[in-house]
Amino acid sequence: MRLRRTTKRRRRALAAVFAAVCALASAGCGGGDGGGEEKPAGPSRSAGQATGKEPDDKPAARPTEVIGEAKGPDGVVVTLHSAVRDDGGFVTVQGTVTNNGSKSFNAFTWRSKETELHSQSSLSGASLIDQAGRKRYLILRDTDGECLCTTGLVGIKVGESRPVFAQFPAPPDDVTKVDFQLPTLPPIGIEISG
């Protein structure tokens, strides 16, 4: 029972961190600072100035950045914003699912076919493919069999967008280009940063 509580707390903490990163990223994309002087945008700022972190920290992904996109059946579009290699030995992919179709969308076809997996209507069927190394990296799972990914992808209304994430074991450091694959969608070629 204690393990289940710990896992739920860990999942809640991960969701809170993800929400905070999204909030900070969207706040960074806001209007001016109230002064009449415009500040230069883009590469002239260091990572420390742009994110308020130390220069050697990795900058947070901005939801407006697009590193890849795939259009699926029924008008569903998956847009990927970042794929970041973390020091812990995993890669976190963040993106957005948008329903541009004519009816509500449920992600039941995106779940994994594994029998021990409990995550329904999730990104649990996603994988990273290293074509050159001929390796497939599946989404990480917790001890309860839940994916370390967005779950509850049901009832996405027409015109609605939802943020999504998925964590994978990291490929070797020299592998930077991979394909992100979800069932029913074409592969999305992305580059891993960090």
pLDDT tens readout for residues 64-100: 799 999 999 889 999 999 999 998 899 999 999 999 9
Query: Which H, E and C letters describe the chain, residue by residue?
Result: CHHHHHHHHHHHHHHHHHHHHHHHHHHHCCCCCCCCCCCCCCCCCCHHHHHCCCCCCCCCCCCCCCCEEEECHHHEEEEEEEEEECCCCEEEEEEEEEECCCCCECCHHHCCCCCCCCCCCCCCCCEEEECCCCEEEECCECCCCCECECCCCCCECCCCEEEEEEEEECCCCCCCEEEEECCCCCCEEEECEC
Percent of the chain with pLDDT over 70: 63
Q: What predicted TM-score, i.e. pTM, was given to this entire model?
A: 0.66
All structural domains of the chain, each given as residue ranges with its CATH number in brackets, are 2-191 (2.60.40.10)
pLDDT for the residue 24:
44
